[in-house]
Amino acid sequence: MTDVNSLRVRLWRRYAELGGDLAEIEADLREPLDADFAEQANELEEQVALEALESRKLREMADIRAALARIADGSYGTCVVCGEPIAEARLQALPTAITCIGCAGKGEQA
């Protein structure tokens, strides 16, 4: 049986970690560009990479909020496609999973 309380704690810890990461990314993105045009090109490339990283982290935070909501409403650990329980090993590996491994393998939502 899945230890939902320990997963909840893991999710909250990861959420807090992501929040710290986002604060650092946002601070980096607010840095003024160098006066040297060649350096500006490098900095703009870095900004594009940081924005992509920021987007992935925001998506992960949204997935965590959704998982925490499922824990709160009692639907956590149930596949949204077939309604069967999601294996504990899958939830341990991917606590935000919304589908069982079978449905994920069929190309359904992961």
Residues 39-71 have pLDDT tens digits of 888 888 999 999 999 999 999 999 999 999 999
| Residue 107 vs residues 19, 76, 90, 97, 104: alpha-carbon distances, Å | 30, 20, 16, 14, 5
Instruction: Please classify residue 95 by burial: count the beta carbons closer than 10 Å to its beta carbon, then call 0-12 exposed, 13-18 middle and 19+ buried.
Output: buried
- Per DSSP, 96 falls in state T
Per-residue burial over 25-50, b = 16 or more CB atoms within 10 Å of its CB, e = otherwise: beeeeeeeeeeeeeeeeeeeeeeeee
Distance from C-alpha of 104 to C-alpha of 93, rounded to nearest angstrom:
14
Question: pTM score, two decimals?
Answer: 0.82
Cα-flanking dihedrals φ and ψ of residue 51, to 5°? -65, -40
Predicted confidence (pLDDT) at residue 108 exceeds the cutoff of 60: no
Span 5-32, pLDDT tens digits: 999 999 999 999 999 999 999 999 998 8
Q: Taking all residues of the chain, what is their mean pLDDT, rounded to a whole number? A: 92
